[in-house]
Amino acid sequence: MNPNPSSRELSVIVGSLDAAGSLRECLTALAASCEGIDAEILVADASADESVHEARAAFPELRVLSLPTGTLVPALWGAGLREARGRVVAFTIGQCVVERGWARALLDGIRSGAAGVGGRLDVRHGTKATGRATFYLRYSAWLSMPDGPVQEIAGDNAAYDHESLRAVRDASAAPFWEVESHARLRALGRTLVVHPAATAWFTDDTALGVMAARRFAHGRHSGSFRVRSGIRTRWQMVLGAPLVPLVLLARVGRRVLRARGHVQGFVTSLGAFLVLACAWAAGEAVGGLTAGEDMREALRST
């Protein structure tokens, strides 16, 4: 994958997709968190704006990879992973700001023997309705996730033993879809854990239409994966699609009720949430029906 794949202690791969409002703060927080660690920060960028060029000027030590505009985050992560030189590889996105102890917490989790270590996610105060809807749809499971061994961790706030990832990936240049890698790690008897000191804070100002298109694309991959893995049949995915938004609404609603301070933020983003949930459901149906076809990894966001 890399001629000298383990020359650093930690590689942090940042998927940057139209994160102009938060990328600089994201990188500032990462730099502070990695202080005193033999770490590298790679930004895999597919933005339509100039945010990555501004970031490069502010952080000259960054390694920047430029991909076609609108490339989905898993493909950005995959490109970064191919170039990563760390013994441990961490993933995040330009819309997340980590706490100062984040990097050391993830490294501690890997040293304890886990193949993957994740942290909780929360939404930043002042995030607009579409950003909040995106957060609750994607990350509500990690609002109050217990510490210790778990079945899943959020790929947007996670680190992995690099050798373990090599053992479960089919190709070095392939997109990194964490759910598939987690399933393969579990099949090998490896452990995923949540660390209490690895929290990240999310915000996003992406337009609703653009975010819906991305949710459709991610849903399409999920539907294809479920059919290819034998979890569902093609027609189960198609016929069940109309129920998916309601199932997601009920599931996320229960999580929000258990978490402190989130009910108002969720209720006031319900319109956007349902749009994104419907886009996800439609994508899953299409992905299930066309499972086996090559998925489009690049998506125009404008």
**CATH number of the structural domain spanning residue 83:** 3.90.550.10
Examine the domain organization and report whether 133 and 273 are in the same domain: no
Q: Are residues 157 and 263 in the same domain?
A: no
Domain of 258? 208-289
Query: Residue written as tokens 């090559």?
Result: 294
Least confident of 170-179, 184-193, 288-297: 288-297
Domains: count for the chain: 2
Q: How confident is the model at residue 11 (pLDDT cuts 50, 70, 90)?
A: very high
Considering the domain boundaries, does residue 226 fall inside one?
yes
Beta bridge partner(s), residue 160: 89, 116
Residues 58-90: tens digit of each pLDDT: 998 999 999 999 999 999 999 999 999 999 999
Whether residues 72 and 190 fall in one domain: yes
Is residue 302 over pLDDT 60? no
pLDDT over threshold 90, residue 98: yes
Higher pLDDT residue, 128 or 293?
128
Whether the per-residue pLDDT at 296 is higher than 60: the answer is no
Mean pLDDT of 189-205: 96
| Closest alpha carbon to 14 in 113, 125, 91, 83 | 91
- Its pTM stands at 0.90
Q: Which of 186, 202, 218 is the last residue of a domain?
A: 202
pLDDT at residue 298 tops 70? no
**Residue 64 placed within a domain:** yes
What pLDDT is recorded for position 49?
Answer: 84
Instruction: Tell me the average pLDDT across 180-202.
Output: 96
Residue 293: predicted pLDDT: 61
- Give the pLDDT of residue 140: 95
> Is 300 domain-assigned?
no
Whole-Å CA distances, 273 to 187, 200, 212, 279: 33, 21, 10, 10
Q: Which DSSP string do the residues of 140-205 spell out, in sequence order?
A: GGGSSPPSEEES---GGGEEEEHHHHHHH-S-TTS---HHHHHHHHHHTT--EEE-TT--EEE---
Decide if 298 is inside a domain.
Answer: no
d(CA 238, CA 231): 14
| Per-residue pLDDT at 294 exceeds 70 | no
What type of residue sits at position 62?
A: L
Distance, in Å, from the CA atom of 220 to the CA atom of 242, rounded to the nearest integer, reads 15
Average pLDDT of the chain to the nearest whole number:
92
Domain boundary among 155, 187, 202: 202
Report the 10 Å Cβ neighbour count for 70: 19
